[in-house]
């Protein structure tokens, strides 16, 4: 048996899906988190029928007439794949909005069971619902559920009811008559009649003691955190607190225990190998694999604390307010406030963030958002931030915080450029988002989300990063004649010969050496590789001292080994954060943009932006600190000016297109 879980966005579908299947799919306290269908078997503790029941979690939809690509997924599944039963998850606190979609589902000749979710909130809102009357009018069973609870949540009753109605027939409560589906006016008139039917039904079934038109304490909070003037400073303060806790205090404290284990394992493997083993094999195994992977995994606690805090912010409903705060700025540069959702999701991983652009209806805005989302520092980039903040800036929290705000600044500038190039600078956008209610964040949900992301991180460290570090170690150990490179002649290695031409390009950015170029290149496979490769090429086994809670032997030692000034290190950090993302994320961009011209333009734009910002950071910073520009200033300036000239040319070309559009409209 196959059942489809349908409902409006943020009605709790994925939370219910996780509860009945045992899966840990990502959930969020806002609309648009689920953008693709997922399926899994119902848990045996809930399913006593003896037959397998597959639950399919579908993206949220407001009606059977799709406006976005993820709504099309829902419509196509329920219409074309004939599920045995539809479970319609209805937000009990918002019947008016939810039952419009329900009335359409009831016309499909597929048995429907309504899960009246969030029923626990009805008491708090002093609202009563006449469920018996609703069942009689709608002609389908209704089960009260609280998918966020582990017990007495109604889910067992829900599955029993699903089994009971399978194969049965039902009559739709509302049948549209004389509707011409090819005529939009006719469809709109029918929708108005349907709304009137639902409105009348809800007025009879629902008894609200508290009027929603009255202001409550949640409105009071919104007046502060979503205020047009206070919203941004509050967001900055909160992000600074998040980074301070995760990167300076709690994260390093937990990392102490993990790195101690990695050190012990390194020593243990070294003792097993003994002194008779080949130095090459020893270097590959200890420094390449254990040292390289350990360097990345050593930052896992810092990342987990950060993910946990972000999950709490998301779960309590604050991140949805950030979308509202940012809409004012995004609208002016041709994006919608909805663009912030993929970008916030992208702080975990750029790939689901790019996929979340499906919720954006406007094609140009969707492609632009897919292009700009990778600028947000994702989880894979956090080890790079943590490393450079620790080595060159004494673990200062401002480093991580400023990288997020620099990303937002680059995104706004990038959007402004793209809207001009595409000739749509006069286009207007509208942002409508249903704000979730504030609630106490769940430590359980935040822990599940954090552990899920940590699992992905560890899997990547044990596969891609391990393989990459072993390869890097081999390439550094041998020259092209497959002879072991002599001590002091590392620049004759395979790795050095491949990375050196790229290092030449990076001289104006302040880090034109082959070791740093090699690390930046491997970052395109996975950004964590930057840290792992640096550990290998500089023969550093790990970065965190277990006694002092600082990077090995003090940050000055590591800085000395890498041979970078603080400003060059900042430039290198910016280059790795704001140039194109990993290949997997580029693949996601290709999928969502559906246009090779946009894809290549996006990659070129990302590389140009990263190069230009890194160049300005190094050269201006060096001028301020030393009174003169850094090395390679002239030819770096020529490259940057050439890129700026190309952008100005494209902007002028786009402005002419925009002007022609206005003339035609006039």
Q: Which residues are annotated as a binding site for GTP?
A: 7-14, 57-60, 117-120, 146-148
Alpha helices in 333-396 (DSSP H): 340-345, 350-355, 363-372, 382-392
Query: DSSP 3-state helix, strand, coil percentages of the chain (rounded to 5)?
Result: 65, 5, 30
First to last CA, the chain: 58
Q: Which residues of 351-379 are buried (b: 16+ CB within 10 A; e: fewer)?
A: bbbbbbbbbbebebbbbbbbbbbbbbbbb
Q: Which residues pair with 89 in a beta bridge?
A: 7, 115
Binding-site residue set for Mg(2+)? 18-19, 21-22
Asked if residues 284 and 473 have their Cβ atoms less than 8 Å apart, the reply is yes
Interatomic CA distance for residues 625 and 608, integer angstroms: 25
Binding-site residue set? 7-14, 18-19, 21-22, 57-60, 117-120, 146-148
β-pairing, 127-129 vs 206-208, is antiparallel
Q: DSSP string of 269-306?
A: HHHHH-SSS-HHHHIIIIIIIIIHHHHHHTTHHHHHHH
Asked if residues 511 and 633 have their Cβ atoms less than 8 Å apart, the reply is no
CA nearest 343: which of 366, 361, 362, 316?
366
611 phi and psi, to 5 degrees? -65, -45
CA nearest 94: which of 122, 133, 56, 70?
122
Alpha carbon 12 to chain centroid distance? 19
Three-state secondary structure call for residue 396: coil
The set of residues, in sequence order, having a beta carbon less than 8 Å from that of 619 and lying 6+ positions away, is: 508, 629, 630, 633, 636, 637
Interatomic CA distance for residues 126 and 207, integer angstroms: 8
SS (H, E, C) 488-519: CCHHHCHHHHHHHHHHHHCHHHCCCCHHHHHH
Chain position carrying tokens 């699903």 = 162
CA nearest 67: which of 373, 370, 430?
430
CA nearest 104: which of 62, 145, 70, 135?
62
The set of residues, in sequence order, having a beta carbon less than 8 Å from that of 597 and lying 6+ positions away, is: none
CA nearest 11: which of 94, 77, 72?
94
Interatomic CA distance for residues 287 and 568, integer angstroms: 26
Chain position carrying tokens 């600190």 = 625
Q: Which two tokens stand for residue 118?
A: 């969030």
Chain position carrying tokens 């049965």 = 168
Q: What's the half-sphere exposure (Cβ side, CA atoms, 13 Å) at 509?
A: 28
Interatomic CA distance for residues 455 and 600, integer angstroms: 32
Q: Which two tokens stand for residue 122?
A: 């009805």
Alpha carbon 595 to chain centroid distance? 22
Asked if residues 510 and 622 have their Cβ atoms less than 8 Å apart, the reply is yes
Asked if residues 505 and 611 have their Cβ atoms less than 8 Å apart, the reply is no
Radius of gyration of the chain (CA): 28
């Amino acid at each position: 048996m196959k059942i489809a879980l349908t409902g409006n966005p943020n009605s709790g579908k994925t939370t219910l899906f996780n509860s009945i299947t045992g899966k840990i799919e990502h959930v969020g306290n806002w609309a648009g988190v689920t953008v693709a269908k997922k399926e899994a078997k119902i848990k045996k503790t809930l399913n006593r029928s003896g037959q397998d029941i597959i639950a399919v979690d579908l993206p949220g939809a407001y009606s059977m007439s799709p406006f976005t690509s993820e709504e099309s997924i829902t419509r196509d599944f329920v219409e074309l794949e004939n599920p045995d039963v539809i479970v319609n998850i209805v937000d009990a606190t918002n019947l008016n909005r939810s039952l419009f979609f329900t009335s359409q589902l009831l016309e499909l000749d597929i048995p429907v069971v309504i899960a009246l979710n969030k029923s626990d909130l009805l008491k708090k809102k002093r609202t009563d619902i006449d469920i018996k009357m609703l069942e009689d009018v709608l002609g389908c069973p209704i089960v009260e559920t609280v998918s966020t609870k582990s017990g007495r949540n109604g889910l067992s009753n829900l599955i029993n009811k699903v089994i009971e109605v399978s194969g049965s027939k039902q009559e739709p409560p509302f049948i549209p008559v004389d509707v011409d589906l090819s005529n939009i006016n006719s469809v709109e008139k029918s929708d108005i009649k349907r709304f009137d039917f639902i409105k009348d039904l809800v007025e009879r079934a629902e008894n609200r003691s508290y009027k929603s038109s009255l202001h409550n304490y949640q409105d009071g909070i919104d007046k502060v955190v979503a205020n047009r003037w206070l919203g941004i400073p509050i967001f900055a303060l909160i992000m600074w607190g998040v980074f301070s806790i995760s990167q300076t205090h709690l994260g390093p404290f937990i990392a102490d225990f993990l790195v101690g284990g990695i050190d012990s394992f390194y020593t243990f493997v070294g003792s097993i190998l003994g002194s008779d083993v080949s130095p090459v094999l020893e270097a590959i195994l200890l420094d390449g694999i254990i040292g390289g992977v350990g360097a990345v995994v050593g930052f896992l606690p810092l990342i987990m604390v950060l993910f946990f805090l972000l999950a709490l912010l998301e779960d309590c409903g604050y991140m949805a307010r950030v979308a509202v705060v940012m809409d004012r700025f995004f609208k002016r540069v041709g994006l919608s406030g909805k663009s912030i959702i993929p970008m916030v999701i992208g702080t975990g991983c750029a790939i689901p963030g790019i996929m979340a652009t499906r919720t954006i209806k406007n094609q140009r805005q969707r492609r632009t958002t897919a292009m700009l989302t990778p600028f947000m520092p994702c989880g894979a980039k956090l080890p790079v931030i943590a490393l450079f903040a620790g080595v060159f800036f004494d673990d200062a929290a401002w480093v991580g915080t400023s990288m997020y705000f620099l990303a937002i600044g680059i995104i706004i500038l990038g959007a402004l450029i793209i809207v001009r190039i595409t000739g749509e600078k006069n286009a207007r956008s509208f942002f409508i988002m249903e704000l979730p209610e504030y609630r106490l964040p769940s430590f359980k949900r935040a822990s599940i989300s954090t552990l899920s992301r940590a699992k992905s991180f560890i899997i990547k460290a044990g596969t891609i990063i391990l393989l990459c570090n072993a390869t890097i170690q081999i390439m550094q150990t041998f020259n092209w004649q497959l002879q072991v490179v002599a001590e002091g002649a590392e620049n004759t290695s395979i790795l050095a010969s491949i990375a050196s031409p790229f290092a030449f390009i990076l001289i104006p950015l302040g880090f034109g050496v082959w070791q740093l170029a090699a690390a930046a290149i491997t970052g395109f496979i996975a950004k964590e590789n930057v840290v792992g490769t640096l550990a290998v090429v500089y023969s550093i086994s790990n970065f965190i001292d277990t006694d002092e809670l600082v990077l090995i032997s003090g940050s000055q030692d590591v800085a000395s080994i890498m041979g970078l000034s603080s400003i060059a290190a900042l430039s290198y950090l910016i280059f790795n954060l704001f140039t194109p993302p990993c290949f997997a994320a580029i693949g996601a961009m290709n999928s969502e943009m559906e246009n090779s011209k946009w894809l290549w333009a996006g990659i070129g734009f990302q590389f140009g932006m990263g190069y230009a910002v890194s160049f300005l950071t190094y050269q201006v910073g060096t001028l301020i600190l030393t009174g003169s520009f850094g090395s390679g200033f002239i030819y770096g300036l020529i490259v940057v000016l050439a890129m700026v000239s190309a952008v100005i040319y494209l902007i002028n070309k786009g402005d002419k297109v925009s002007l022609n559009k206005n003339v035609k409209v006039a």
